[in-house]
Homo-oligomer: A and B are copies of this chain.
């Protein structure tokens, strides 16, 4: 029996623009999915416990999946088990062990579907723990690659390499096209996350930005401007100038709002954080609902968000410089 854990992530800067080859910077956060894998004779048994749903267990052989006897939507069961099935296929491929069964237990402190990379963390943790259970300790590059294959398969080819990379490597990472650079000088970012309990429709949001960008030169320029802002953000992060990082987060949020991906609850949380004198605040991820990230090492933003209507959950989630690890 082996346990591995892997962190979630936030976008500091650059979501949406990254789709068009602009740089983005994301940070692993101290919120982890812990995945325990134990070999067994045959079939899969999955226990999934997540912040945002009642835990459930399913047990099945091959494609015939049992339904858990709990009040959980089929779509959530399919999603959770879909990622784990594919991750176990990667474990089998890596270890050449196709006949054994596994019991997999997932405990995640990352809200599901909130843009914090919960699925990537579960997949990364499952691959690392599964391979280790079979006696093979995979390198980070291989874990990241195999985890991307899983997300690519489950998300109908719409996955980004970023989430699985961030979860595997930890720390602050700049991504631009296929290039990844770990920003080792960044080691302390006091993030506070506010969550409205919902989630935007990522596909529709990405399509909306694409339509604006195709139709208007000024929208295409706004996307490029985000890229330029990310370059300034990288310098501010490297200098440890958190006030400037916050100022740039605020600016980035406005540009995302212009592109139509903010929402009423996200803006309400962003303003609550700013009024609490957070250094900055922005939506993080696809938008349309979900999470904001604020920068504040005092408790004021936490308190303000707790009393903000529409904010369902608020937690501190500092930069996690460590990626996937065997526990």
Contacts and interface: CB of A to CB of B under 8 A. Distances in A.
Interface residues of A, number: 32
Interface in A152-166: none
B260 A257 contact: no
A258 B255 contact: yes
Contacts of A229: 216, 218
A43 to B, nearest CB: 48
Nearest to A228: B218
Interface in A83-107: none
Contacts of A222: 222, 225, 251, 255
Interface in A255-277: 255-260, 262-264, 267-268, 271, 274-275
A217 interface: yes
Contacts of A216: 228-229, 232, 251
Contacts of A228: 216-218, 221
A232 B218 contact: yes
A225 B217 CA distance: 9
A254 interface: yes
Interface string A205-232: 0000000100011110110111011001
A250 interface: yes
A219 B258 contact: no
Interface centre among A221, A254, A262, A264 (most CB of B within 10 A): A254
Nearest to A244: B215
A31 interface: no
A184 to B, nearest CB: 25
Contact of A260 (B212, B250, B268): B250
A268 B219 CA distance: 24
Interface string A43-76: 0000000000000000000000000000000000
A224 to B, nearest CB: 8
Interface string A226-246: 101100100000000000000
A146 interface: no
Contacts of A174: none
Contact of A254 (B258, B263, B264): B258
Given A222-B225, A225-B221, A271-B267, A254 B250 contact: no
A256 B255 CA distance: 9
8 contacts: A221-B225, A221-B228, A222-B255, A250-B260, A252-B258, A255-B258, A258-B258, A267-B268
Given A254-B258, A264-B275, A268-B268, 10 more contacts: A212-B251, A218-B226, A221-B224, A221-B225, A221-B228, A222-B251, A254-B262, A257-B258, A264-B271, A267-B271
Interface of A: 212, 216-219, 221-222, 224-226, 228-229, 232, 250-260, 262-264, 267-268, 271, 274-275
